[in-house]
């Protein structure tokens, strides 16, 4: 896969590094890499992995609000700490990395809970992603990565389900699709 340069930064703005991510085919096999900006601009298939964090007793789920500066789904709510699969990473490795980066949680066991192929849209463009979800249990302190998460709280599963049932609630659409059967 070629690696065309990222588009120039906006006038007057600093050049931001363009992270390289793994590109997948429609069936879910890694086929190369490309800059994240190109993946989003062209709707290339990629993969994302996240962790649903529950309290140790399973009674609560951690929900957070994404930073308004996120490239995708800025300012929306989510219940997965996650991100795109980097070159050379498995979805499990990505989940471990993202949980530590975004919530400061490490050393927990991950259990796979869902996987889907999501062919959605964002900002008027196709957004195609293979989504992987894991679950972890944790009662320790949460430390948000300020550039990614602006707030977070614990909800019961019933509270989360109630919000997910409200289509007007600003929740990340790919996570909503990924967890539809899980919370059914």
Domain extent, residue 131, equals: 20-178
- pLDDT at 14 exceeding the cut of 80: no
Angle at 148 between CA 145 and CA 151, to 5 degrees: 75
Q: Give the count of domains, the chain.
A: 1
Residue 183: inside a domain: no
Residue 5: inside a domain: no
When pLDDT is cut at 50, 70 and 90, the band that residue 17 belongs to is low
User: What is the arithmetic mean of pLDDT over 143-159?
Assistant: 96
Residue 63: inside a domain: yes
Residue 15: inside a domain: no
Angle at 145 between CA 157 and CA 169, to 5 degrees: 40
Q: For residue range 71-86, list pLDDT tens digits in order.
A: 899 999 999 999 999 9
Q: What percent of the chain has pLDDT over 70?
A: 91
The H-assigned helical ranges of the chain are: 36-42, 91-103, 157-164, 173-178
**Mean pLDDT score of the chain:** 90
Q: For residue range 44-60, list pLDDT tens digits in order.
A: 999 999 999 999 999 99
What CATH number has the domain bearing residue 35?
3.90.79.10
Residue 2: inside a domain: no
Residue 11: inside a domain: no
- pLDDT at 18 exceeding the cut of 90: no
- pLDDT at 11 exceeding the cut of 60: no
Q: What pTM value is reported for the model?
A: 0.88
Q: For residue range 161-175, list pLDDT tens digits in order.
A: 999 999 999 999 999
Residue 83: inside a domain: yes
Backbone phi, then psi, for 101, in 5-degree steps? -65, -50
Q: For residue range 97-138, list pLDDT tens digits in order.
A: 999 999 999 999 999 999 999 999 988 999 999 999 999 999
Residue 3: inside a domain: no
């Amino acid at each position: 896969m070629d690696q065309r340069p990222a588009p120039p930064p906006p006038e007057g703005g600093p050049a931001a590094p363009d992270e390289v991510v793994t590109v997948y085919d429609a069936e879910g096999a890694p086929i190369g890499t490309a800059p994240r900006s190109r993946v989003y601009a062209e709707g290339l298939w990629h993969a994302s992995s996240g962790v649903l964090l529950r309290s140790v007793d399973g009674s609560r789920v951690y929900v957070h609000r994404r930073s308004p500066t996120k490239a995708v789904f800025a300012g929306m709510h989510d219940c997965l700490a996650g991100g795109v699969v980097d070159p050379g990473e498995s979805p499990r490795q990505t989940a471990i990395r993202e949980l530590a980066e975004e919530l400061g949680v490490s050393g927990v066991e991950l259990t796979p809970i869902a996987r889907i192929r999501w062919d959605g849209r964002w900002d008027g463009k196709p957004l195609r992603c293979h989504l992987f979800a894991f679950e972890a249990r944790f009662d320790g302190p949460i430390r948000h990565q300020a550039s990614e998460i602006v707030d977070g709280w614990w909800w019961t599963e019933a509270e989360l389900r109630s919000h997910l049932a409200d289509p007007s609630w600003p929740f990340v659409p790919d996570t909503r699709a990924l967890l539809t059967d899980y919370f059914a």
